[in-house]
A and B are shown apart, each in its own frame.
Chain A
Amino acid sequence: SAVISQKPSRDICQRGTSLTIQCQVDSQVTMMFWYRQQPGQSLTLIATANQGSEATYESGFVIDKFPISRPNLTFSTLTVSNMSPEDSSIYLCSVGHNEQFFGPGTRLTVL
């Protein structure tokens, strides 16, 4: 299994600003995943982050809006840029192969 931590756990941000979310894993992993869970909704994959290469984004998500860094095998960041109220969601990172382990999530509210 893997232990995943995320920072911040929650934040309230103003429209037009950006927030960077950190994800730290207690072991080295090849792939990390970033998900979004909008209020009352299921989880949607934003992108897959491999160390040493550009992140791969799912349909509907773009790098300019959600830039991702993956500087090493235990850490990744997701930035939510130029935020609007529609970005209010829980953002989760996960790792794993046969099963995925999820971080506790970052609850973002955009005013």
Chain B
Amino acid sequence: AQSVTQLGSHVSVSEGALVLLRCNYSSSVPPYLFWYVQYPNQGLQLLLKYTSAATLVKGINGFEAEFKKSETSFHLTKPSAHMSDAAEYFCAVRGRDDKIIFGKGTRLHILP
């Protein structure tokens, strides 16, 4: 069965600092992995996805994630945090029958 674990329900970084949000996955088949972002009172927006092509995936808003099979990880990074990055971030894996299984989410706080 597929699952994802996000380490840290809350992460705080200073504006301009590196953003690192951690995600580990479990999958019995080659995984499709996703990062979604949810801004306050808004729907989900796809940041980026991994679908077995390049292991370093670039997404929108300067975010990227690296798929590491040996570590079963898919951590999300951004070199320099901006105040507008404050949101809830969800790591997800595609399971059987195209179902998306979400992690519990990490709320990113940006400190001025």
Contacts and interface: CB of A to CB of B under 8 A. Distances in A.
Q: Do chains A and B stick together as partners?
A: yes
Interface of A: 31, 33, 41-45, 48, 56, 92, 94, 96-105
Given A43-B102, A45-B99, A96-B98, A103 B46 contact: no
B96 to A, nearest CB: 11
Contacts of B49: 98-99
Contact of A92 (B32, B43, B99, B101): B43
20 contacts: A31-B97, A42-B90, A43-B44, A43-B100, A43-B102, A44-B102, A45-B99, A48-B97, A94-B100, A96-B98, A97-B98, A98-B94, A99-B32, A99-B34, A99-B49, A100-B34, A100-B46, A100-B100, A103-B43, A104-B42
Interface of B: 32, 34, 36, 42-46, 49, 51, 90, 94, 97-105
Nearest to A99: B49
A41 B100 CA distance: 16
Nearest to A6: B43
Given A42-B90, A98-B32, A99-B49, A31 B98 contact: yes
Given A48-B97, A98-B49, A99-B49, A42 B104 contact: yes
Contacts of A99: 32, 34, 46, 49
Contacts of B42: 104
A48 B46 CA distance: 20
A97 B36 CA distance: 16
Contacts of A92: 43-44
Nearest to A30: B98
Nearest to B46: A99
Contacts of A45: 99-101
Contacts of A31: 97-98
Nearest to A90: B43
Contacts of B45: 102
A31 B36 CA distance: 20
B7 to A, nearest CB: 14
Contacts of B102: 42-44
